[in-house]
Amino acid sequence: MSGKGGKRDDSYFAADRRKRKKNMMIIIPIVVAVAAIVAISALLYKAPAAQAINGVQCNTIEATTYHVHSHLAVLVDGKNQTIPSQIGILTSPNCLYWLHTHDTTGVIHVESPQQKQFVLGQFMDIWQKTVPSSKSFFNSLAGKPLKAYVNGTQFQGDYRNIELTSRQQIVLAFGAPPEEIPTYDFGALK
Residue bearing the bigger pLDDT, 177 or 43: 177
Q: Which fold does the domain 58-183 belong to in CATH? A: Ferric Hydroxamate Uptake Protein; Chain A, domain 1 (2.170.130)
What's 87-133 look like in SS3?
Answer: CCEEECCEEEECEECCCCCCEEEEEECCCCCCEHHHHHHHHHHHCCC
Q: Tens of pLDDT along 107-121? A: 999 999 999 999 999
Domain map (residue ranges) of the chain:
1-45, 58-183
Q: Is the pLDDT of residue 147 over 80?
A: yes
Q: Tens of pLDDT along 151-165? A: 999 999 999 999 999
CA distance 8 to 72: 87
